[in-house]
Every structure is written in structure tokens, then in C-alpha cells.
Structure 1
């Protein structure tokens, strides 16, 4: 099972964010597919730790470890705020704990540690909680790479269909409603099974914080 641990924002926070994203959605330059693939609102989440493919026989150990992490974590007030771009192709929104800036970082580290001896992936050093909202389409990524090659050779290039850094800059002032994170989830991701060929997420287990 391809698994990750996450925090899920409440519907009110996701709706508020959705309205902000609608305002910056780029218009396609031609009749082709949209240059950005938006993550469906119901799939938007804060990844605490990604475990990759986990054997079925190790699921109980992972759930026990995450239950202990959740029990030792106090519920926290959280807010979606700011934006940025990963690798020139992924648009993300920042997420912060309102009362203790390091609380989410500690929770990510603890969730990562819960997979030690279970996950085959190398631990990653996470310093910033985020929520992925969009990715450049495969077509736009290819054309972006072509534009870079042509610009180095000083050849004329077709204008970009979307300026992802500009969108991130416009969203950098975004401040969403504050919500209380009361639990974390262990989620299974089925690649290609979701809407538009994206991943489908199914909650395997939920763990209340502080219990």
C-alpha cells in the first residue's frame, strides 16, 4: 500500500482557499488542455510524512506508531498562508501553526520517525508544511523545457501559457481562516485511480491528537 500521513483542512478552510485560487487561474492560450492541473479540493491535504509502498503486514505497526505520535501531540490552531513553487512546476500554499511556529515541524518529524523500520524511503528533512494545489500539465512542462533550450540558443520562443512564479507571488499575501487541527490521518494513495488520471486518496485510519 502506498501510504502517507496527513492533516486535512476543514471544508470551510478549503472553500476559502478555493475562492482565492479561482482568481488566479490562467486562461489557456489555445484550444489545448489547461496549462495547470489543479488538485481537486477534496484531495488537498498537508502531508506530514510519505512512506511509499508499505507491506500489508507492516500496517498494524505503522498505525500503532502513528497513534502514539497523535496521542503525544496537542491539538493546534493552523492557518494556510503564503505560496511558493517547487522545481518550477508545482504550486503550493504554506501552512503554519498559529501559536507555535515549530509545532507542525515537530509533528512532521515525529510522523516521519513513525515509519522507521517500516518505510523503505530515506527520511526527508522537512522544514515547511505546505499544501500542494496545482502542477504544470505534462504539455506545459515539455514546452517550458523547450523554451529554456531555445532561450540559450537565442531562438524565438512561444510565450509561456502560465507564469507560475507570478501566480505564487499573487498568492503570497493570502491568509486563510484559522482552524484547529484535532487529528491526523493515514492515507492510501492509488496512482491513476482518481479524477483525470490523478491519484485517489482513501483514509486508512484516523488518530485524534492528544488522546
Structure 2
């Protein structure tokens, strides 16, 4: 099973983002734009996890989430990985209005490791992927066109454990299936 833990923004936030991004899709054939149903903020990418570990993993993640207070987040701005001059990924950022998203992500990563599902070693950089360039691209015009946008803030009261089914979505993109909701402290 290919798994990750994420925050999925609510529909009103996704509506606002989609309204901002949609006119740019036509102008960007060099970008493979992500579909709305793929929009999320990854807290921990776990990669391949044996199905036999799923119950223990879900329990460990639920305990970790339950120790953390709800967050208030806002999507805003834009950037590119690995950098704007050889971009492969175009993203919008995540501003923390209230809470400690880094602590939530850190707790989820530690819980995953303790359950035998070690996350990838990349540094946590909260973002929502908007698209992927077909080849390394100078992306400053894209960043400028998206950077001034700020979406509405929203309260995060749960995280999700998601299975990614590679090549099963539209255009051979991944299809995501939520396996568990992980409530934050009430």
C-alpha cells in the first residue's frame, strides 16, 4: 500500500483556489495541472507500507493526532521546487494562522516510524501542489501570477490517512482513497 497522511482543505477553500487557478490552466500547457480531488497538504509521505501494518499504523496515527490541538490554516502565495529557475513542481503555500503545523507533522512522522512505516526523509515544507512541469522550467512568471492570492482561512479538526493508487485516476494520475480520519484533540 502506498500511503500518506495529509490535511485536505474544505470545499469552500478548494472552490476559491480553483477559481484562481482555472484561468491559468489554459495558459500553461507546459504544466500538468493537478486535479482538484488531488489537492492536499502532505504531512508525511510513507511510501510502500505492508497491509499487515495498517491497523497498528492507524492506531498510532490516531493517538498522535488526538494529542494535538486543532489548527487554523490558510493557503497563500506560490513557489516552486526545487527552485524557481529549474522548477519541477508549482505550489501554493500554507500559512499557519493558529496552532503548530510543524509539531503536528513531526508527531505524525514519529508515530509512523514507531508503527514501522518510516516516512521519507524530506524536510517538511507545507504546500499544496498545483502542478508539475514536464521538464525543469524557469517558473518565475508562474510564481508571480499566483503569489498574490490568499485563500480563506479554515479550521483543521482532523487529518486523513490516504492510499495512493498509482495510474488509476484520470489521465493515469493517482487515485486517492481516504482510509481513516484522524481527529485532532476535541
Q: TM-score with structure 2 length normalisation?
A: 0.90
Partner residue, 2:74: 79
Partner residue, 1:10: 10
Partner residue, 2:113: 116
Partner residue, 1:148: none
Moved over 4 A (4+): none
Q: State the SS of the aligned residue for 2:117.
A: coil
Range that drifts further, 117-126 or 169-178: 117-126
Cα-to-partner distance string for 1:76-114 (whole Å, 9 max, x where unaligned): 1110011100131110110122024xx111111111111
Partner residue, 1:58: 53
Structure 1: how far apart are the matches of 2:60 and 2:93?
27
Structure 2: how far apart are the matches of 1:94 and 1:70?
22
Between Structure 1 and Structure 2, whose CA radius of gyration is higher?
1
**Contact (CA 8 Å) 1:53, 1:120: kept in 2 or not?**
no
Q: State the SS of the aligned residue for 2:25.
A: coil
Q: 1:22 to 1:197 in 2, by over 3 A?
A: same
Q: Does 1:38 align with 2:33?
A: yes
1:131 to 128, 132, 144: 128
Structure 1: how far apart are the matches of 2:14 and 2:138?
24
Partner residue, 1:91: 90
Give runs of aligned pairs for residues 94-109 of structure 1, distance below 5 A.
Answer: 94-100=93-99, 103-109=100-106
Structure 2: how far apart are the matches of 1:120 and 1:180?
28
Measured after TM superposition, the shift of residue 43 of structure 1 is 1.2
Measured after TM superposition, the shift of residue 119 of structure 1 is 2.1
Q: TM-score with structure 1 length normalisation?
A: 0.80
Measured after TM superposition, the shift of residue 164 of structure 1 is 2.5
Partner residue, 1:149: none
User: Is there any run of 5+ residues in structure 1 with no aligned partner, and where?
Assistant: 29-33, 145-161
Range that drifts further, 167-176 or 10-19: 167-176
Cα-to-partner distance string for 1:38-71 (whole Å, 9 max, x where unaligned): 1110110000101010011111111011101110
Q: 1:120 to 1:208 in 2, by over 3 A?
A: closer
Measured after TM superposition, the shift of residue 210 of structure 1 is 0.6
Partner residue, 2:185: 210
Structure having the larger proportion of residues in strand: 2
